[in-house]
Amino acid sequence: LRQDAEAAGISPRYVIYDSGDQLSLARQTIRSLNLDDKLFRPRAMLRQISYAKNELVTPAEM
């Protein structure tokens, strides 16, 4: 995929996050936005993102 990334319209320098990386990033994002982690739960956020991707929901529609 990296070899053909430009043809696909993406940077060949992309990063793929595993589930642990995703959870860590969600936690970090919640903290950096000063959100209540009891109200904005990282795993719930990741489920919502996954649902949106599967249903082709845009960020604006979220």
pLDDT tens-digit map of 14-49: 899 999 999 999 999 999 999 999 999 999 999 999
Distance separating alpha carbons of residues 29 and 8, to the nearest angstrom: 28
pTM above 0.85, yes or no: no
pLDDT tens-digit map of 3-19: 888 898 989 888 999 99
CATH fold for domain 1-62: Arc Repressor Mutant, subunit A (1.10.10)
Q: Can you give the pLDDT at residue 14?
A: 86
Listed residue (51, 2, 44, 46) closest to 21, CA to CA: 46
